[in-house]
Amino acid sequence: MTTTSNRAGTAIAFVLFGVLCISLNDMLIKQLSDGYPLHQIIFFRSVIGLLVTLVFLHFEGGLPALRTDTPVLHILRGVLVVIANMSYFLALAVLPLADATALFFVAPLFITLLSIPLLGEKVGPLRLGAVFVGFVGVIIMQRPWASSDSLDVSRIVLLLPVLAALTYALNQLMTRKLGVKAPASTLAIYIQVTFLVVSVTFFLVAGDGRFAANTTNASLQFLLRPWVWPAPDDKLVFLGMGVNGALIGYSLSQAYRLADAATVAPFEYIGLPLAVFWGLWVFGDLPTWEVWTGIILILASGLFVFFRERVKSKRVTPRPVARRH
C-alpha cells in the first residue's frame, strides 16, 4: 500500500509539472503562430526535444530500452499525439488561449469514459453523471444557439480542441498499457520521432508555402505558410519550446505509467486557471460568460469524479502493486 501511495504521489507531481509545461508551450506557440508555420514549429521543437529525451533515455536503460514487442502500438500512439497536438494548435492560432484550453479539457472526461472499455475500470452512475455535466459545459462553450455569422470562428475550429481531446485521451490510455514494459523516455522518443516524420513530410509537400496562397483561413495559413528562418529574438523561444516539449512528453508519460488514469487525469485541470492567467497577462484576453460557465462545469465535474474515486478506493481492497505497473 505504501509503495502504491508513493507511486501515485510521484505520478501526480509529474502530471502537475507536465501541465505547467503545457501551459507555457501553448502560450509560446500562440505567440509564434503569426509568423511561422505549424510544421516548422513542431520540427524545431521535436529536434531539440529528442536530444533532451535521449539524455533521459541514458538513465533509463540506454538504446536497448528502445526495443519493443509492440512497435505498431507505439506508432499508433505517436500518430494520436500528432493529431491531438496539431488539431489543438490549429485552433489555438485563432481562438483565445482560455477558450481553446477549456474546450480541450473534455479530455479527462473522455479518459474516464474510455477507461471502461479499454482498461476495464469501473465507473459508477454518480461519476457518469458528473461526466455528463462536464459535457454540458463543453456544449455551452460551443454556443449551439448562436448563428455561424455571429461567431468569431467557424464551427469546425470550435470542434478542433474536442478532436484533440479525444485523441489525447486515447493516447494516455494507451500509455497506461504500453508503460508496463516501456520506460517514460522510450514512450517520449517514439512520439518525438513521429512528430519529426510528420513535420518533414509537411515541409516536403508544403514547405514553400504554395498552398497557403489559396486560403485566407487563419488556421490553414498557420499550417501551410512557408518556412522562414527564425528571427534572432525568436531563436531562444524555439530553444525553450524544444526543452519544454521534452519535459512534457517525459512527465506525462511517466505520470500515466505510475498510476491509473482516474488518479492522474483530474490533476490536469490545473491547466484551466493557467490558461486564463496566460491569456490575460500575455494576450489581454478574458473568457466570455460561456467559457467561464464551461470552465466551472468541467472543473466541478472533474473534481467530483476525483473525490468519488478516492472514496471508492477506500472501500475496496487495493489491487496488488505488481498488477498496477
* Residue range 207-228, pLDDT digits in tens: 888 888 788 788 888 888 999 8
- All three cell numbers of 9, joined, read 504521489
Q: Which phi and psi (to 5°) does residue 180 adopt?
A: -60, -35
At 163 the pLDDT is 94
Burial class (CB in 10 A: 0-12, 13-18, 19+), 240: middle
pLDDT in tens, 227-279: 988 888 888 888 888 888 788 878 887 887 788 766 787 787 888 889 999 88
Question: For residues 48 and 236, what is the distance between their CA atoms, to the nearest angstrom?
Answer: 12
Q: Can you read off the three cell numbers belonging to residue 266? A: 483530474
Q: Give the C-alpha separation, 152 to 158, whole Å.
A: 10
Q: Which pLDDT tens digit goes with each residue over 123-139? A: 888 888 988 999 999 89
Question: SS3 of 320, please?
Answer: coil
| Confidence at 143, pLDDT banded by 50, 70, 90 | confident
* 8 Å CB contact between 190 and 77: yes
Helices 125-142 and 97-104 meet at what angle, rounded to 10? 150
Residues 30-61 have pLDDT tens digits of 888 888 999 999 999 889 888 888 988 888 88
Q: C-alpha distances in angstroms, 280 versus 26, 50, 271?
A: 14, 32, 14
Residue pointed to by grid coordinates 448562436 = 146
Q: Which of 124, 106, 111, 83 is nearest to 175 (CA)?
A: 111
Domains of the chain, residue spans: 2-324
Give the chain's mean pLDDT: 83
**0.85 cut: is pTM over it?**
no
306-324 pLDDT, tens digit per residue, is 777 666 655 443 333 222 2
Tell me the torsion sign for CA atoms 82, 187, 98, 35: negative
Which carries the bigger pLDDT value, residue 80 or residue 172?
A: 80
Residue 42: all three cell numbers together: 513542431
Query: Is 293 a residue whose pLDDT tops 90?
Result: yes
160 class by beta-carbon count within 10 Å (0-12 exposed, 13-18 middle, 19+ buried): buried
Average pLDDT over residues 59-67: 82
Which residues, 6+ apart, have CB-to-CB distance to 77 below 8 Å?
Answer: 171, 174, 175, 178, 187, 190, 191
